[in-house]
Amino acid sequence: MKYPKAVIDTKALKHNIEIIRHLAPNSKICAIVKANAYGHGLIDVARSLLKHVEGVGVARIAEAERLRDAGFNNEIILLEGFLGAAELLKLNELKLTTAVHCYEQVELIEKYASSLNNLKVWLKFNTGMNRLGLDADETKEIKNRLERLDCVKEVNLMTHFANADDRTSNYTEEQIAKFNELNQDMFLNRSISASSGILFFPQTRAEWIRPGVIMYGISPTYEPVVNFGFIPVMNFETILSNVFKLKAGCRIANSNQVFSQDMYIGVIALGTSDGYPSQAPEGTPFLVNGRKVSLVGKVNVDTIYVNLGPELKDKMGDKVIVFGKSLPVEEVAKHINVITYELTTKLTTQTKHEYIIN
Ligand SMILES: *Cc1c(COP(=O)(O)O)cnc(C)c1O
């Protein structure tokens, strides 16, 4: 047996898609599988989504290429577009849909128009994210330029919110208003919202939606999304590699805690080499035999210590839940002070992925 392991419940994935479908029954779903499907495994996740979504979104052309090589025939949207002529020709060959967010990309499409066919474009309008995107006048001009080309089959309009998880600010409403104003006389198919927008701004459930984290049953905030009915897709687990008694008055390396009585300490087979954050502080929770126990000392390369309490209840080889259905990733992430999906996304290749397929 190889530990740690990420057990991926593809039934939960499909369940989460159904919840999203129920929230946005009139929208096509572009399921975001960038970053190795947020650490869940690009190919296996895409394969289990195949019949349940209209398309998938990736950040880089290499990810799209892996999907096509694996026989994935659905629509693939390149969320950040292409970088240079070689990628443009490659995406045409791979039949990818591409975001267009700058003039350089438009000029390349015009230059290589005779080598391209049936190109589908999502124009990226910057409504305030200020990362990538065109302003209103540029978007209009580029739409006209692209629609003049025979090789362009479809032009859609997309935007991305800056902080749709913050419901105390009206910034998102301003972004929505800007978007609607521009599209008033363009009548393009729209793709406006990612996870937070889908959950908190129903008016943004447009022709296309782009769910990422929520599809994996992970909240875009620290508030668990189980309230919406989502189920965590990844159960990340490992085992106790040792249990020993720490004498009263002694302490674990790098810990300030001195125990007044004998204490059982568990050594967990997990560490920074598995992608677990080194900054996880003392008190970070784990589940051992159904009990919540907490980290003592520091996260090492391959080991973590936890306080198992004054009574001997556990033994080497017992299962440890790092996060998952019984220990929300949101709770763990909040403790460590990292964003929720960082815990799944940063898993290293040392972690074995096991898929429950139904
Ligand atoms: C990452 C990304 C998403 C998905 O975001 P979530 O918050 O994970 O739902 C959607 N659209 C674009 C353009 C992205 O880059």
**Residue boundaries of the structural domains of the chain:** 10-217, 234-356
pLDDT of residue 1: 67
Q: How many CA atoms lie within 13 A of 135 on its CB side?
A: 1
DSSP tag of 115:
G
- 211 Cα–ligand 1 center, Å: 6
Please work out whether the CB of residue 194 comes within 6 Å of at least one atom of ligand 1: yes
- In ligand 1, the atom with minimum distance to the C-alpha of 34 is 1
Ligand 1, pocket-test mutation among 16, 19, 23, 32, most atoms within 8 A of CB: 32
- In ligand 1, the atom with minimum distance to the C-alpha of 32 is 4
The label of the residue with tokens 């090789």 reads 151
Residue 329: strand, helix, or coil: helix
The label of the residue with tokens 């995107």 reads 133
From its phi and psi, is residue 38 left (phi > 0), alpha (psi between -120 and 50) or beta? Answer: left
Query: What is the CA 153 to chain-centroid distance, rounded?
Result: 30
Q: Is 172 exposed, middle or buried (0-12, 13-18, 19+ CB in 10 A)?
A: buried
- 196 Cα–ligand 1 center, Å: 9
Please work out whether the CB of residue 210 comes within 6 Å of at least one atom of ligand 1: yes
Q: Do domains 10-217 and 234-356 have the same CATH topology?
A: no
Structural tokens at position 312: 């001997």
Residue nearest to atom 4 of ligand 1 (CA): 212
Question: Which residues are marked as active site?
Answer: 34
By the 8 A CB rule, do 127 and 178 touch?
A: yes
What does the alpha-carbon distance between residue 41 and residue 353 come to, in Å, rounded to a whole number? 8
Closest CA to 299 of 282, 324, 319, 323: 282
- In ligand 1, the atom with minimum distance to the C-alpha of 160 is 13
Q: Is 185 exposed, middle or buried (0-12, 13-18, 19+ CB in 10 A)?
A: exposed
Please work out whether the CB of residue 160 comes within 6 Å of at least one atom of ligand 1: yes
DSSP tag of 255:
-
Please work out whether the CB of residue 195 comes within 6 Å of at least one atom of ligand 1: yes
Please work out whether the CB of residue 209 comes within 6 Å of at least one atom of ligand 1: no
From its phi and psi, is residue 309 left (phi > 0), alpha (psi between -120 and 50) or beta? Answer: left
Is the domain 10-217 a CATH 3.20.20.10 member?
yes
pTM reported for the whole predicted model: 0.96
What does the alpha-carbon distance between residue 53 and residue 46 come to, in Å, rounded to a whole number? 10
Q: What is the 3-state secondary structure (H, E, C) of 25-80?
A: CCCEEEEECHHHHHCCCHHHHHHHHCCCCCEEEECCHHHHHHHHHCCCCCEEEECC
How would you classify the pairing of strands 152-158 and 119-124?
parallel
- 220 Cα–ligand 1 center, Å: 10
- 358 Cα–ligand 1 center, Å: 27
- 107 Cα–ligand 1 center, Å: 26
- 156 Cα–ligand 1 center, Å: 17
Residue nearest to atom 8 of ligand 1 (CA): 212
Please work out whether the CB of residue 213 comes within 6 Å of at least one atom of ligand 1: yes
Structural tokens at position 65: 């290429």
What does the alpha-carbon distance between residue 123 and residue 102 come to, in Å, rounded to a whole number? 9
Tell me whether residue 60 is annotated as binding.
Answer: no
Superfamily name with CATH number, domain 234-356? Lyase, Ornithine Decarboxylase; Chain A, domain 1 (2.40.37.10)
- In ligand 1, the atom with minimum distance to the C-alpha of 195 is 9
Q: Give the contacts of 336 (CB within 8 A, at least 6 positions apart).
A: 277, 279, 280, 281, 284, 343
What does the alpha-carbon distance between residue 245 and residue 312 come to, in Å, rounded to a whole number? 9
Structural tokens at position 279: 């900054």
37-90 pLDDT per residue, tens: 999 999 999 999 999 999 999 999 999 999 999 999 999 999 999 999 999 999
pLDDT of residue 357: 85
Ligand 1, pocket-test mutation among 77, 79, 100, most atoms within 8 A of CB: 79
Residue nearest to atom 13 of ligand 1 (CA): 79
Please work out whether the CB of residue 211 comes within 6 Å of at least one atom of ligand 1: yes
Ligand 1, pocket-test mutation among 98, 159, 204, 210, most atoms within 8 A of CB: 210
Residues in the chain predicted with pLDDT less than 50, given as ranges, are none
